[in-house]
């Protein structure tokens, strides 16, 4: 008895060792590519800024202090860093708005594709991925061409006599939202499609058969079934849109900053690397909190069974 038990324990230990060895390459990549750089950023946020960028190896909390407070350069009075906090808050709002809009447009799109015949599904999916072939910057400028004051929409409306003054769309939050929704839409459609493809459409029929209207079938049967796709899509859209840099830069102009632009500013013209590093860590922290909150709330209401 004792002998077999010890043998079993030994086998189990060997098994665990094998598993660690097998996952070692992945762990090394994660350590080098993800944890390592993040640690460097974390360390930088506690150092002092150098006069021409870079950092001086002198510990300081100034970077973190500047995230939340600002010190008047003349009389050293301390006040809340309204600018930083409002930019952070704006970024969160725009990211949530983008996630919501991509869901509103992405859900019917994914449903449409999933309900096609297997052959035409491949074609539709292919069309969805086409925007990825083009550089993000070029796509941003393309949107600019559509919505700027002399752009397609305004000139069409004006030649139709519907408006006399061009509608100001460029350099507004609207422009940023349009751009981010457009850019991130495939990231919502693809995971939604992946879970809708597995959806058993006979369940939809069963719903109709049991007196559920189209809306009730959507709410009570389809959405609970594709919840994993909704979670994955929302995460994939929320995270990059919160840290968005190119779209707010091109479509929001200099005035409508998002936190990504703010961070870039610190590492560039601002020459305040510790502040940039502290802002970056803050952003990571916000993402983590948002994710934990989201997964807990959206994940639990469907029951543990899937």
Partner 1 sequence: MRENKGDILLLENPCRFAIEVRGVSRIYGASSERVTALGGVFVSIRENEFFTLLGPSGCGKTTLLRLIAGFDFPTEGEILLHGQDIAPLPPFKRPVNTVFQNYALFPHMTVAQNIAFGLEMLGKPKDEIRARVDEMLKLVHMEQMRDRYTGQISGGQQQRVALARALAPQPKVLLLDEPLSALDYKLRKEMQIELKRLQSETGITFIFVTHDQEEALTMSDRIAVMSAGRIHQVGTAREIYDRPADRFVADFIGETNFLQATVVGTANDRATVRLASGEILDAGLPERFKPQGEVTVVIRPEHAQLFADDGEESGIKGVLENVVYFGTDTHYHVRLGGGDIFIVRRQNTRTSVDVLEPGVPVGIRLGSDAALVLRD
Residues at the interface with partner 1 (CB under 8 A) = 200, 202-203, 205-213, 215-216, 220-221, 224-225, 302-303, 305-306
Report, in Å, the least distance between residue 297 CB and partner 1: 17
Considering beta carbons, is residue 93 or 214 the nearer one to partner 1?
214
Considering beta carbons, is residue 39 or 210 the nearer one to partner 1?
210
* Phi/psi of residue 47, nearest 5 degrees: -110, 180
Report, in Å, the least distance between residue 236 CB and partner 1: 23
Report, in Å, the least distance between residue 113 CB and partner 1: 22
Considering beta carbons, is residue 28 or 203 the nearer one to partner 1?
203
Considering beta carbons, is residue 224 or 253 the nearer one to partner 1?
224
Report, in Å, the least distance between residue 197 CB and partner 1: 16
- How big, in percent rounded to 5, are the helix, strand and coil portions of the chain? 75, 5, 25
Beta-strand runs (E) in the chain:
48-49, 55-56, 69-71, 78-80
- The pair of three-digit structure tokens given for residue 127, joined into one six-digit string: 């069309």
Determine the Cα–Cα distance for residues 184 and 158; give it in Å rounded to an integer: 30
> Residues with Cβ < 8 Å from 79, sequence gap 6 or more?
69, 70, 72
Considering beta carbons, is residue 54 or 200 the nearer one to partner 1?
200
Question: Smallest Cα–Cα separation from 185: which of 228, 137, 128?
Answer: 128
Considering beta carbons, is residue 61 or 216 the nearer one to partner 1?
216
Report, in Å, the least distance between residue 203 CB and partner 1: 5
Determine the Cα–Cα distance for residues 56 and 68; give it in Å rounded to an integer: 22
Report, in Å, the least distance between residue 294 CB and partner 1: 19
Q: Output DSSP code: residue 50.
A: P
Considering beta carbons, is residue 153 or 218 the nearer one to partner 1?
218
On whether the CB atoms of residues 173 and 256 are closer than 8 A, the answer is: yes
Residues 94, 99, 102, 104: what is their CA dihedral angle, to the nearest 10 degrees?
-110
Residue 37 Cα distances to 55, 265, 273, angstroms: 15, 19, 14
Determine the Cα–Cα distance for residues 285 and 272; give it in Å rounded to an integer: 20
Considering beta carbons, is residue 255 or 305 the nearer one to partner 1?
305
Report, in Å, the least distance between residue 111 CB and partner 1: 18
Could you please report the per-residue DSSP string of 88-137? HHHHHHHHHHHHHHHHHHHHHHHHHHHTS-HHHHHHHHHHHHGGGGS-HH
Report, in Å, the least distance between residue 303 CB and partner 1: 6
């Amino acid at each position: 008895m004792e002998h077999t038990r010890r043998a079993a324990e030994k086998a189990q230990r060997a098994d665990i060792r094998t598993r660690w060895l097998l996952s070692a390459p992945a762990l090394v990549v994660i350590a080098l590519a993800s944890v390592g750089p993040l640690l460097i950023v974390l360390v930088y946020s506690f150092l002092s800024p150098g006069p021409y960028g870079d950092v001086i190896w002198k510990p300081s909390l100034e970077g973190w202090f500047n995230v939340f407070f600002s010190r008047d350069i003349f009389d050293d009075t301390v006040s809340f860093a309204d600018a930083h906090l409002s930019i952070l808050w704006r970024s969160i709002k725009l990211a949530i708005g983008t996630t919501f809009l991509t869901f509103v447009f992405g859900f019917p799109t994914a449903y449409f594709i999933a309900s096609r015949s297997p052959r035409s599904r491949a074609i539709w999916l292919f069309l969805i991925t086409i925007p990825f072939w083009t550089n993000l910057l070029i796509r941003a400028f393309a949107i600019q061409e559509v919505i700027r004051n002399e752009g397609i929409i305004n000139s069409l409306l004006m030649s139709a006599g519907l408006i006399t003054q061009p509608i100001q769309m460029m350099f507004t939050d609207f422009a940023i939202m349009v751009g981010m929704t457009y850019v991130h839409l495939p990231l919502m459609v693809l995971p939604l499609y992946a879970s809708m493809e597995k959806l058993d459409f006979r369940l939809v029929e069963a719903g109709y058969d049991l007196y559920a209207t189209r809306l009730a079938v959507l709410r009570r049967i389809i959405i609970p079934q594709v919840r994993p796709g909704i979670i994955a899509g929302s995460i994939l859209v929320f995270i990059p849109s919160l840290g968005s840099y190119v779209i707010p830069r091109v479509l929001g102009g200099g005035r409508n900053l998002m936190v990504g632009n703010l961070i870039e500013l610190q590492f560039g013209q601002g020459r305040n690397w510790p502040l940039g590093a502290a802002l970056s860590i803050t952003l990571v922290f916000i993402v983590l909190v948002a994710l934990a909150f989201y997964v807990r709330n959206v994940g639990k209401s469907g029951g543990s069974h899937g």
